[in-house]
Amino acid sequence: MMAKQKKAPRPKAETPKGFRDYFGAEVTERAHMLQKIAGVYHHYGFEALESSAVETVEALGKFLPDVDRPNEGVFAWQEADDEKWLALRYDLTAPLARVYAQHRNDLPTPYRRYAMGPVWRNEKPGPGRYRQFYQCDADTVGAASVAADAEICSMLSDTLETVGIPRGDYIVRVNNRKVLNGVLEAMGLGEAADHDAVLRTIDKFDKVGEAGVRELLTKGRLDASGAFIDGVGLSDDQAEPVIAFLTSKAADAAGTLANLRAAVGGSQIGQKGIEELETIAELVQAQGYGADRIDIDPSVVRGLGYYTGPVYEAELTFEIFDEKGRKRQFGSVSGGGRYDDLVKRFTGQEVPATGVSIGVDRLLAALREKGRIQSQATGPVIITVMDRDRMADYQTMVAELRNAGIRAEVYLGNPKNFGNQLKYADKRNSPVAVIEGGDEKANGVVQIKDLILGAKIAENATLEEWKERPSQYEVPRDQLIAKVREILEGQD
């Protein structure tokens, strides 16, 4: 007897770790926000670019800043025929460098482009940290002038206000890597390894503060869990310029810049960085952006390892409650800066570039916090089916509604149970149901049910004011559009 063949196990319906599905309202909200952002970028003279989601591993170069091994941090695979390694892009900047190097003879210089789309990171997922997420970037390639950096700061300010973050609820902070290089020079550090250790320590400034950075630069410190973290081993005198740099923020830009001059001492590169910050402050001021919107702030240290000149980030300053119910500021939703050596990898020549990236999901979360987006999207008007032989009548109605610009659909499930049709409308969050049975047809009328008002009456049965208003109307068939429109406007 032949062995009975084992049935293949059914696949498990689950999202892969670190990924998620986005449904109706979320997708629409994101698309709507991206459209507004694209509008601002376009208004500033940037052109759209859509490059491939897949790049050669070679073109992507070194991957995520904190990972050393090749292919670590990206989703990569090897092609069978030519053994080339390919990977999903992990940001929108590396593909831009490749596009510019490849097409530079046909592109204008400077080349100003914006790009939006998903990026993929093969990292350990965590709460709110996904392996696929949306980015929204704008970059200027081929302009050495810091006017390009100043412009991106003002554009970032406009973008936040356009999507619905009011003035006073955000600040664009600007710093400069060259100033930090001046500080490192003033410290008299010899080894590149020392530089890296100092950079890594500076990056912890927002977590451990001035005292923590001082300990980490010198003898080390105990962290919150009681573990001892080794220090870089500098003397107190050597650590001083770093502390002076990080704490140089004054009441106004002039004061901050004066403090920075003291921190960099005689370093030429440091002085050059301070001049660039001064120019940015002048240029944004000339366009009408005060320090309440764009501010010189040396405590912006994230990404200083990667960037070569000005660095900027947009921080939302309003307070929210975290998971544990503690009050905190919303924090950063966007960052960027100047990276003058990215295209050089391909061409051998240095090409100046500066750009910004907006974290789309974080910005959406911020807009929800501010009540700027209604997460509950309105569904379509539902034409119920009372008589399945009269589907053509219902299709005529739905076509009229759609032609009048009203979102609508005919119920296409099993029409036997009318209650199920209303349950469906409820699940779709539909504002209106249209009913035309045999009697209505004979009398040339339709019933129009205001589902939003109906739900309110059911919720607040005691509220007399709702009872005054009928939630169902009978109107002549030729008044269908006018009545539906009137109800929808009333609901708004």
Are both 167 and 137 inside the same structural domain? no
What pLDDT, on a 0 to 100 scale, did the predictor assign at position 124?
Answer: 83
Q: Does some domain include residue 11?
A: no
Are both 389 and 484 inside the same structural domain? yes
Are both 367 and 253 inside the same structural domain? no
Are both 263 and 386 inside the same structural domain? no
Give the domain CATH number at 389: 3.40.50.800
Q: What is the span of the domain harbouring residue 120?
A: 18-144+340-377
Are both 178 and 279 inside the same structural domain? yes
Are both 123 and 44 inside the same structural domain? yes
Q: Does some domain include residue 410?
A: yes
Are both 333 and 360 inside the same structural domain? no
Of 262, 61, 84, the closest CA to residue 74 belongs to: 61
Q: Does some domain include residue 13?
A: no
Q: Does some domain include residue 198?
A: yes
Q: Does some domain include residue 416?
A: yes
Number of domains forming the structure of the chain:
3
Residue with the two structure tokens 């009978």: 474
What pLDDT, on a 0 to 100 scale, did the predictor assign at position 169?
Answer: 93
Are both 279 and 174 inside the same structural domain? yes
Are both 400 and 303 inside the same structural domain? no
pLDDT tens digit at each of 492 positions of the chain: 666 777 888 999 999 999 999 998 889 999 999 999 999 999 999 999 999 999 998 888 755 544 544 567 889 888 888 888 899 999 999 999 999 999 999 999 999 999 999 999 988 887 778 899 999 999 999 999 999 999 999 999 999 999 999 999 999 999 999 998 898 888 876 655 577 778 778 777 777 877 888 888 788 777 777 777 777 777 777 787 788 888 888 888 888 888 888 888 888 999 999 999 999 999 999 999 999 999 999 888 877 778 899 999 999 988 777 667 677 778 889 999 999 888 888 999 989 999 999 999 889 988 888 877 765 678 999 999 999 899 999 999 999 999 999 999 999 999 889 999 999 999 999 999 999 999 999 999 999 999 988 777 666 655 565 556 678 899 999 999 999 999 999 887
Q: Does some domain include residue 263?
A: yes
Q: Does some domain include residue 9?
A: no
Of 464, 465, 115, 174, the closest CA to residue 314 belongs to: 174
- 179: Cβ contacts below 8 Å, ≥ 6 apart: 245, 260, 263, 264, 270, 273, 274, 277, 298
Question: Both tokens of residue 205?
Answer: 């400034």
Are both 484 and 457 inside the same structural domain? yes
Give the domain CATH number at 30: 3.30.930.10
| Chain centre distance of CA 181 | 30
Q: Is 356 helix (H, G, I), strand (E, B) or coil?
A: strand
Query: Under a CB-based contact definition with an 8 Å cutoff, are residues 264 and 185 in contact?
Result: yes
What pLDDT, on a 0 to 100 scale, did the predictor assign at position 108?
Answer: 96
What pLDDT, on a 0 to 100 scale, did the predictor assign at position 6?
Answer: 79
Are both 279 and 170 inside the same structural domain? yes
